[in-house]
Amino acid sequence: DTEVTQTPKHLVMGMTNKKSLKCEQHMGHRAMYWYKQKAKKPPELMFVYSYEKLSINESVPSRFSPECPNSSLLNLHLHALQPEDSALYLCASSQIWTGNQPQHFGDGTRLSIL
């Protein structure tokens, strides 16, 4: 079992729906990340939060909206997604953003857009 917990494990939504992905860690990590992974590809960084502040946005479309309510929680709000957004969405955390701290990944949310 991973120490980064993601819910739901699977999500199917229409292009007009609004849904949210949730990520939780209780390791005291102060950096949290969202990645997108397509089949047979490596994870691609989307967002980085450091001490609950957004540090990096990799030019992600505004239909993806991240939120970090506290140091243990990370959400990804989804609205008006496109079929090409179907992918595995991974959350990760590390002690801090800098200093080459290892990143620990959750098992992801498998998202399908109809």
Partner 1 sequence: QQQVKQSPQSLIVQKGGISIINCAYENTAFDYFPWYQQFPGKGPALLIAIRPDVSEKKEGRFTISFNKSAKQFSLHIMDSQPGDSATYFCAARGNTGTASKLTFGTGTRLQVTL
Rounded Cα gap, residues 96 and 30, in angstroms: 5
- String marking each residue 33-72 x if it binds partner 1 according to CB under 8 A: -------xxxx-x--x-------x----------------
Selected binder of partner 1 within 93, 108, 111, 113 (CB under 8 A): 108
Q: Which is nearer to partner 1, 18 or 41 (CB)?
A: 41
Q: Does 102 bind partner 1 (CB under 8 A)?
A: yes
Quick count: other Cβ atoms within 10 Å of Cβ 91? 27
Cα torsion angle, 97, 99, 104, 110, sign: positive
Question: Cα 113 vs. chain centroid, distance in angstroms?
Answer: 17
* Least distance to partner 1, CB of residue 30, Å: 14
